[in-house]
Structure 1
Amino acid sequence: MITVRDSVRPVWFLLLAFLALLGSWPCVAIPTQESGTNDMLSELLVSDDYYDVLDDPPPETKPGPKNESALQPCDYDVCLEQKEPCSVLAAGKCLCPGITLEDMAPEAPTVTSLTPGGSEGVTVRWCAPYSLVTAYTIKGAEQEPVRVGSHLRSSKLKGLNDGDKVCVLAENAVGEGPESCMVYRAEKDAALTAGLIGGALGLGLLAALAGLLWKYTQRRKSGARLSTQDRDDSHQGLSDSNRVSLDVL
């Protein structure tokens, strides 16, 4: 005969076996709010826009370049001779005028004057172009061309005649640029020569007048001494005659 105790015994056995099976399963970690990793995982699981979380942080913003508007133009005159180019003078402290690059032939310089200099020749002066220049060439009508450095703004030409055309051009590694020309007028040289001759004649005339004046002054002094001496001699003669008269008496 089966009792109640015998019927309950298999149920307890099954319950103990089920509990033992549950105890053998691995434990599952439940994320908490104190774990940063679990927070990120939960955010990824909840939010569809998870790419924003995995992206790198935005790069740091660097300060922009120095404001060039605060810099002043360099003390650089294209018509004056310069020992160094403006790029060397600037050194980040001033601004140079804009020039064409080295891959372009230079623009034409500007001839400003042709000044006669007598036997030394004619002085040619020009202003530099706003281009990269390595040398200048000065050409006369029948004269041999003269080539000078890029820092110069003047040169001499000999043997020029009235009406000769003088030209100056710039060059760089690309080649020669266009010319700038001016016509020489010899009348200026003749006027200068006449002025020099007139000045020399004037100085000679003044020297001659000064000599004549000196001679006239010396003559007057000499005449004054003679008249004084004659007057003294006459007084002395009168005194002697009076003395003789008294002796006779």
Structure 2
Amino acid sequence: MLLIFLIASPLLHSHLFIYAASTSPPITRPRIIFMTALGSDNEYNDDDYSDENNPPTEVVSSERIPDVHRETQLCQYNPCLENQESCAQLSAQTGCLCPGVSGPDLPPQPPLIQTLLPIREGENKGQIEVQWCAPSSVVSGYRLVVEGREALKFGNTQRRGLVGSLDVGTKVCVEAVNSAGYSPSSEFSCQRYDPPNSSDHNLLAWLIGGGVALLVVIIITAVILWKYKICLKGKRDSTDGLGNPSYSTEGTL
């Protein structure tokens, strides 16, 4: 029995060793987690760990898109300046914003009349120049309407026109025109001619005023001198009439 046990023990020992080796759990290495710059727990590198059923999660990096706020600017358009590009053309070129305008299917709004200015020099001396500003509407042209005269027509880019000579108080109106009709008259689109005081008139007034003042000074001076002369004469007469008779140039009486 002892002999049989000694022969069988090496075989039993090897069998137990093989079984223990086959049933022992696999040795795994601890997971090493590398933190990213953002400090997220979901992003890591695990080069020493592999699992067919649980592949490492793929991290998609996101890019921050900056918010670009574009400042809107109004178009550099002056409605009182003539022979310039329209606001719509400036907007198409630069992307600027235009003020709201009424469309061509509506009559235009009244223009703004600025001044009635008499011309003092040049070949148009004596005529009156009318200046106006465009309305917030689609305009194809303008008309200058003077009381008792035929209306004068001007292009849509013009902002001034001559109406000849005017009498004081004559009413002048500016009308905007498009395919839908004419703009109505208003207190802003009409004005009565009131000529300003010219420099010649002011000079004449100063001359007249200076002459009158000089004449008054001369009269006052003459009156003062006349009164002073009368006073001296009165004193001399009174001195001659009140002489003492007890005395004479020949001695005592």
Could you tell me the TM-score, scaled by structure 2's length? 0.47
